[in-house]
Amino acid sequence: MNRITLAAVFALTSLLVLAIFTPLLIGEGRGTETASKIDADYPLTFPEDFAWGVAVAAQHVEHQQPSDWTAFERRAISEGKTGTGNKPGEAKPGHIRDLDQVSEEVRRKKVDFDTRYASDFAALADLGLNSYRFSLAWSRLFPRVEMTEPDPAGVAFYRDVIAAAKANGLTPHVSLFHFSTPEWFWEEHNGKRGWERSDALEHWNRYVSAVSSLLGPEIDFWCTLNEPMVYVLWGYIEGVFPPLEQRAGPIDVAPVVTQLLKAHADAYRILHRDAAARGQSISVGLTQHTRAFEPWRNWHPLDRLAAGFVQQAFIWDVFDAIETGTYSMTDTEFSAEIEGLAGTQDYVGINYYGRFYVQMDIDAMAAGPVTHTRDPGDPDELFSDLGWALYPIGFSHILDEAWRRYGKPIQILENGIADASQPDTLRQTFLVSHLREVWYAMHVLGVDIDGYFHWSHLDNFEWAEGFGPRFGIFAVDYDNNFARAPRDSAGVYADIIRNGISEERWEAHRGPF
Q: Quick one: pLDDT at residue 15?
A: 31
Angle at 289 between CA 283 and CA 295, to 5 degrees: 140
- Closest Cα partner for 203 from 145, 261, 154, 258? 145
How does pLDDT run across 37-85, given as a tens digit for each residue? 999 999 999 999 999 999 999 999 999 999 999 999 999 999 999 987 7
Q: What is the DSSP letter of 235?
A: I
- Closest Cα partner for 179 from 462, 467, 384, 512? 462
Question: For residue 131, what are the β-bridge partners?
Answer: 53, 171
Q: Find how far residue 53's CA is from the centre of its chain.
A: 15
How does pLDDT run across 247-263, given as a tens digit for each residue? 998 999 999 999 999 99
- Mean pLDDT, rounded, of the chain: 94
How does pLDDT run across 188-240, given as a tens digit for each residue? 999 999 999 999 999 999 999 999 999 999 999 999 999 999 999 999 999 99
Q: Around 188, how many Cα atoms within 13 Å sit in the side-chain half-sphere?
A: 2
pTM of the complete model: 0.95
* Overall fold of domain 28-290+340-353+386-509: TIM Barrel (3.20.20)
How does pLDDT run across 308-350, given as a tens digit for each residue? 999 999 999 999 999 999 999 999 999 999 999 999 999 999 9
Q: Quick one: pLDDT at residue 377?
A: 95
Q: Quick one: pLDDT at residue 367?
A: 80
Strands 474-477 and 483-486 turn out to be antiparallel
| Percent of all residues in the chain with a pLDDT value above 90, rounded to a whole number | 91
Q: Using N-to-C axis directions, what is the helix angle for 200-214 and 250-278, rounded to 10°?
A: 30
Examine the pLDDT at 471 and tell me if it is beyond 60: yes
What's at 270, amino acid-wise?
I
How does pLDDT run across 267-281, given as a tens digit for each residue? 999 999 999 999 999
- The per-residue b/e assignment along 68-99, b for 16 or more CB within 10 angstroms, e otherwise, is bbbbbbeebeeeebbebeeebbebbbebbbeb
Give the range among 9-23, 441-455, 468-482 with minimum mean pLDDT. Answer: 9-23
For residues 393-417, give the mean pLDDT: 98
Examine the pLDDT at 14 and tell me if it is beyond 80: no
The residue ranges of DSSP E strands in 23-137, in sequence order, are 51-55, 131-135
Q: Quick one: pLDDT at residue 21?
A: 44
The residue ranges of DSSP E strands in 400-472, in sequence order, are 410-415, 449-454
Q: What is the DSSP letter of 83?
A: -
Q: Quick one: pLDDT at residue 25?
A: 55
**Alpha-carbon span 177 to 179, nearest angstrom:** 6
List the chain domain ranges.
Answer: 28-290+340-353+386-509
Q: Quick one: pLDDT at residue 2?
A: 45
Q: Quick one: pLDDT at residue 364?
A: 77
Give whole-number Cα distances, 262 to 228, 237, 258, 440, in Å. Answer: 12, 21, 6, 35
| Percent of all residues in the chain with a pLDDT value above 70, rounded to a whole number | 95
Q: Quick one: pLDDT at residue 16?
A: 33
Q: Quick one: pLDDT at residue 90?
A: 82
